[in-house]
Structure 1
């Protein structure tokens, strides 16, 4: 496996490093002894340094270093030139001896980095050990670690509770009334008058579209397709342990090897009617997520996983294309508020001498944003885009697609809800927002519902038969012991598989259409998989809610009451709806306060996660695993769930996050000093490194520097917040107020222009002597006001990022980046090419790096086991459960 090969390479590097370090320290000691006895110590130093290969006071003399040849020449000058102070040669000697200290530091920190890497391999966390053991993996841990694993308690009470509930859904058949489902779908998709038309209706075109593309004989898997499937399976984190390592190795194989895999997939496709799960039963595993929930993952054989991904992404792309065509048709009501009639357009054109530009309206912006970011966003738009990992944890920041990642879509949802609250409250004096999702959506989705919907939408019977075999797999949990009985899945869909996404999205797209139709386009479901949000005016939200409840009952599903709620904000004294669900509206760690009409942090939830963080950090058996867990929790998960800085949230929200982060750090360390004895993560990591490896006075740069330059790459959660602090808006609602004032100015300007022009053609109902009223001018503001649209767009954006001031020292520091480190993705030889996070980090720690390491590279490049660490980091964090 790749990890074993890299481990062997690392062992060799460690051996070579130890020999080099020992030889250098011996020669260093001899040289310093010779210097003490020499009559010309500086010359002796120069000659000795030259023999050791140390050429200058920095790693790159061409960028401002102090080469030995310069010192030698100035030393010769000082023998004759009395104007050179006698103290100056002593400074030269100290500077030259510093070269020896720098090289010692490099050897020491290269050795420390290597030791920390092997510690990570030798001491995997208990969660990883459990995972490898359950799936038959061959952990690289030594015997002592395996013995300690045996004493680990297998699972917490919460895991067992969720497992029992999962079992109750998945292994019990849930029968639904398929006749009622067909009737419900026919009622919403098929209009009575459509039956009299000769031309195909939009829905008939939709149904017929399946027959043209999804034909088995048209499918031909290539080596490129296999490469894309491998990438998708890895991104979905479907496989783990040994199989994941094998898949990584396969991804690096040549085209010939991938072509052979493609041949196997094509043979399977040719005999798809006889396909079955092999081997059977398929192992299943429970994994704890960072949010505290557990999910059950299947562990299929590699070729099965690749076949299903190949088919899944093609069905996903075609499903999305079909629904997008239907969405663009006139059958799908689009979002609207007080839509202008032809008479309204004529009057506006007469008085303003132009027709309002719909493309410059808020209404247009809403429609486009909904289509681009929320309409079947779980499905990919192209084969190359691959699967959309809805289940990607909130501690992840990896996404290669140009399309918004799941994390970005969630952030957009928060911004939209916040912006719409301000806009609609200003226009209508009230705003209603509702939130819900489906209880155990994936595991509880009835198979009869899936197949009925697919057949109604036009999927051929041969494919439905294949899907029935796909969903009826036999499962076994290795953690239940060697005598565990296999059981057949009778309900629900597997997690992290693209075919499952197709089934779920196809069903919920019908709900999207039903709500849009019931509300005449005034309510759209801003849906991210089964997380459902909708907003607007109270009466429209009530219609949408009744539609959701009816759909849920017919499809045999259930709503999650714990994640269902609504708020109503009114400046007119309106009471909340008695029809809409009760309960708070939540997003991440935020709760929407209906009184303040703003998001506030749910501190009870935060305290629960602090307790969980302590538990997870206590399970970290290596320094690198602690850093990885910290980066996931503090560097990403918490910040993601407080909401990224946004104009609509404003500086008040940003200050609230700062205060909460400060509170979390205090609770983790200061209030828990009996456990850590430290006050922050920096001092804690320094203490355990000193305790385990004996290295004292650890450089701060070593903790926060990127892996590629020999650091641990510990993330600082405050930096991303600080970069937007200066430009964060204090009062976001003033952007809307300014838009309204600008509309008043535009009205007066248009009125003056109207009074000056000559009028020849007067539409019916228009008065050439009197300009229309301001009330009529702004009546359709969402459809006519470009000022409001501009304010809306600005509120959705992030504050401008601003780094620290660029100094001459920073220019010097970055320019001294050694050539061998110039391929770093984080710290680059040009300051302007760096991400602002790394610009800020370099500003904080560059001086220390220059002083202790002579440059920004912290070790001996060829001796650093960077690829081993990157391989270990590439696997997602496994949380102790």
Structure 2
């Protein structure tokens, strides 16, 4: 990995150097005093004399935590107590020599523990120095040749970047003409009836009104609006690092912000005459993303980026609101069949209560609240990277706030749907797909046809056309080979989200109106799940849609699974696309099980081994390890949940064990053995304790992530078998049917008459129902997905994430955590579940070797450096492009 020296500011380096010098000064003072003390102790005549000398010297010795009142007071009180016991021993024979020797050994251990704390604080700073040293050499060179590595990445083939640039140019500078009349006719068919026509007209009127009001904003930009725009731009990959650094500086300078606001308000007032103002062309270059993917990114002027972001996100928030009227309108948006009013009355007559909302209602709400147009920000404060690649997996507890969290939510929903549908109906189908080079190759004629269909006024379409037809160049030389873009829009720009979602929402409508299904979509990642024939119809609708709108299916990311307990329908089989269904490295097998794709794992482990070997410092190695083993693999294996069962957790743990055996074949599969050897070779420090590696950085450890701990914390909280919960539901359902039947049979004629009037009314046409027997079990269960509360409970339980079972704090360790509260301001209950496990696991070792649960004095920790270290993103060093 490249040197991190540029990553640290000069100020931080200066602070770190100052703290290291202070640490070294304390260390030398301590060791000199210790050596002198031990000489005096060695010259003492007997046990009492040795203890007396030790006590006297111990009071004068400095400690690594000196200045922390709780620690200083404890040292003082302990020494005072022992001094009194020593005085007692001169008069009282019951204070034996063994007791005196024990006191001496205890103080000697404390002195040696202080040495250990100073030694490892020194090692900590030496590791930091290595991290910031540009001349540091890689930890090791991979023995594999590059060609051998390429062979393992069949799913992510490696290409030279020039080929990527050539492919990009062949797409964006070559127009793909689509028929705007055909597109308008195709979309209009979905709004043919009177109700659909009125909904479409309302959307168009709302768009015209919004377009007018947005344009009439006199001074839309002020310092607060600019800060919101800047925050969003800093959170995505649109701008290069230099531009981001400049933007960061803007946020702290109100004078500059006011000047920028004035300029952008003048520009907004003359919106009709806006242009790129880039006669020399805007440079497009391959830029590596956090996942290792290369994407062609545009170097955009900072003020243009802010200006355009504001416009795009304003439109995003508006369109998300008006488009939301369609899935919320149950007369327009098709869904699973529900009871008619007469059927509801019949239900009341036999059951004695009105049906309540069940799983169907819950999934509808999840779709509208979470998945519907999830890429579109509702406001400027939500604007960011539509791909969500820079989101820290631990950044938000609310899954609905991150793309990764929403995918995990959907994965659980999908897995639960597969289990319940197959168990209750004997069959289910899942289809997954993706659009090839969607944003890059979106035909401009398609885009403008869609915008016109939704009623966007022509003056705004004129602006959007100027935006889309940007002057680009593929070389770094200004003015060289400048060409006008004819297809696509800039990736990670807010306009990509706006335009992309406008077009793909039409797909949402098409799939729903033609098949009755709701398409779950994460930008251009597409998912269908449900009854097989319905899924087949929905897939046909998607294929027709992309044909009419001039888009392409990415066959490499398209596949299906058709599960059936009886003989499969051969006609349906031919309609489904070939290929696997995967989310991350979790794959749905033809048997209906979710399995970790070991082929992908092996390939990534080989690449990780190579990337780790190229790290030029222990800390950069740990950064890479934590990013890949501590976050990446945990996310791509799927988070544990009841719908996967304990077998999934066991598979994850076994996969991690296999990965470490592959990574550390020569070190008994142990990351600590490997790091211990590296530290010994590079710093000549032997026998490094395990606690030093895993202890959080705030306490002087290296913060190495243990990938096993999160899964052991939930392993026993997951259902052993998801199918057992379905079996339990079916048993309860049969019991409830029997109870309802017996309760109905016990009703008097007058009770039945009252139910009839309340459920179906006074009309005589319903009286024949009184002669009917109780409903059949088939009728009783016909609408279980829509109305059964028992099924809703079972579904919700299968969809649950497990609760983390924290380690219990042992009584003998409580005083040590009390000390930690005083020395570092954190108590046991403030630790994360993972850190509780770490701190408790290594507490005895820490107590024995360092005499405390921390290693480095908090005041001497380079906290500024550590905070920046945690923010530093680690990029996969594989070359992937789209």
Q: TM-score, normalised by structure 2?
A: 0.87
C-alpha change, 1:810 and 1:274, in structure 2 (3 Å) is farther
- Counterpart in the other structure of 2:633: 638
Superposed CA offset, 1:300-346 (max 9, x none): 3444433333333322222211211332234531431x321222111
C-alpha change, 1:695 and 1:187, in structure 2 (3 Å) is same
Q: Which moved more, 1:396-405 or 1:488-497?
A: 396-405
1:387 and 2:381 are equivalent in the alignment: no
Q: CA deviation at 1:719?
A: 0.8
C-alpha change, 1:295 and 1:388, in structure 2 (3 Å) is closer
2:17 to 3, 11, 21: 11
Q: CA deviation at 1:840?
A: 1.0
Q: CA deviation at 1:655?
A: 1.4
Counterparts of 1:276 and 1:245 in 2: how far apart (Å)? 25
- Equivalenced residues, count: 833
Q: Which moved more, 1:303-312 or 1:555-564?
A: 303-312
Q: CA deviation at 1:732?
A: 0.3
Structure 1: where are the runs of 5+ without partners?
Answer: 128-154, 823-827
- Counterpart in the other structure of 1:46: 55
Counterparts of 2:854 and 2:249 in 1: how far apart (Å)? 30
1:91 and 2:102 are equivalent in the alignment: yes
- Counterpart in the other structure of 1:787: 790
2:696 to 687, 706, 726: 706
Counterparts of 1:56 and 1:328 in 2: how far apart (Å)? 61
- Counterpart in the other structure of 1:775: 778
Q: Which moved more, 1:290-299 or 1:550-559?
A: 290-299
- Counterpart in the other structure of 2:814: 811
Misfit runs of 4+, over 6 Å: 55-59, 62-66, 124-127, 192-195, 480-484
- Counterpart in the other structure of 1:133: none
1:659 and 2:666 are equivalent in the alignment: no
- Counterpart in the other structure of 2:552: 558
Conserved? CA contact 2:220–2:265, under 8 Å? yes
Conserved? CA contact 1:334–1:367, under 8 Å? no
Q: CA deviation at 1:455?
A: 2.7
- Counterpart in the other structure of 1:467: 464
The residue matched to 1:726 in structure 2 has which SS? helix
1:861 to 858, 863, 875: 858
Superposed CA offset, 1:680-725 (max 9, x none): 2222222222222222222322211222222221111111111111
2:495 to 499, 517, 520: 499
Q: CA deviation at 1:159?
A: 4.3
Counterparts of 2:224 and 2:90 in 1: how far apart (Å)? 71
- Counterpart in the other structure of 1:142: none
1:438 to 425, 435, 440: 435
- Counterpart in the other structure of 1:148: none
Superposed CA offset, 1:527-583 (max 9, x none): 111110102112211221111111101211100111111121112322351122122
The residue matched to 1:690 in structure 2 has which SS? helix
Counterparts of 1:366 and 1:103 in 2: how far apart (Å)? 59
The residue matched to 1:326 in structure 2 has which SS? coil
- Counterpart in the other structure of 2:531: 537
Superposed CA offset, 1:16-35 (max 9, x none): 33333333322332233233
- Counterpart in the other structure of 2:753: 760
Q: TM-score, normalised by structure 1?
A: 0.88
- Counterpart in the other structure of 2:154: none
Conserved? CA contact 2:30–2:63, under 8 Å? no
Q: CA deviation at 1:510?
A: 1.0
Counterparts of 1:290 and 1:614 in 2: how far apart (Å)? 18
C-alpha change, 1:833 and 1:745, in structure 2 (3 Å) is farther
Counterparts of 1:260 and 1:120 in 2: how far apart (Å)? 40
Q: Which moved more, 1:257-266 or 1:599-608?
A: 257-266
Counterparts of 2:18 and 2:821 in 1: how far apart (Å)? 24
Superposed CA offset, 1:750-795 (max 9, x none): 2232233322243415225632222211111112211111111111
Conserved? CA contact 1:818–1:856, under 8 Å? no
C-alpha change, 1:379 and 1:193, in structure 2 (3 Å) is closer
C-alpha change, 1:25 and 1:839, in structure 2 (3 Å) is same
Conserved? CA contact 2:317–2:378, under 8 Å? yes
Q: Which moved more, 1:339-348 or 1:268-277?
A: 268-277
- Counterpart in the other structure of 1:512: 508
Q: CA deviation at 1:481?
A: 8.0
The residue matched to 2:527 in structure 1 has which SS? strand
Conserved? CA contact 2:221–2:265, under 8 Å? yes
Structure 2: where are the runs of 5+ without partners?
Answer: 1-6, 139-156, 761-765
C-alpha change, 1:193 and 1:419, in structure 2 (3 Å) is closer
Counterparts of 2:559 and 2:613 in 1: how far apart (Å)? 36
Counterparts of 1:664 and 1:157 in 2: how far apart (Å)? 27
Superposed CA offset, 1:810-852 (max 9, x none): 3233222153522xxxxx31x2332211111112212222223
C-alpha change, 1:170 and 1:786, in structure 2 (3 Å) is same
Superposed CA offset, 1:140-196 (max 9, x none): xxxxxxxxxxxxxxx96454444433333233333322222222222224546766x
1:490 to 478, 486, 489: 486
Q: CA deviation at 1:74?
A: 2.2
Superposed CA offset, 1:172-230 (max 9, x none): 333322222222222224546766x7x98554455445336533516623333333333
1:103 to 114, 133, 138: 114
C-alpha change, 1:849 and 1:221, in structure 2 (3 Å) is farther
Conserved? CA contact 2:349–2:752, under 8 Å? no
Q: Which moved more, 1:401-410 or 1:724-733?
A: 401-410
RMSD over aligned CA atoms reads 3.1
The residue matched to 1:535 in structure 2 has which SS? strand
Counterparts of 1:327 and 1:208 in 2: how far apart (Å)? 21
Superposed CA offset, 1:238-281 (max 9, x none): 44544444444444x26555444444443443343444446654
After superposition, residues 243-282 of structure 1 pair within 5 angstroms as 243-251=243-251, 253=252, 255=254, 258-277=257-276, 281-282=281-282
Counterparts of 1:84 and 1:477 in 2: how far apart (Å)? 87
Q: CA deviation at 1:298?
A: 3.1
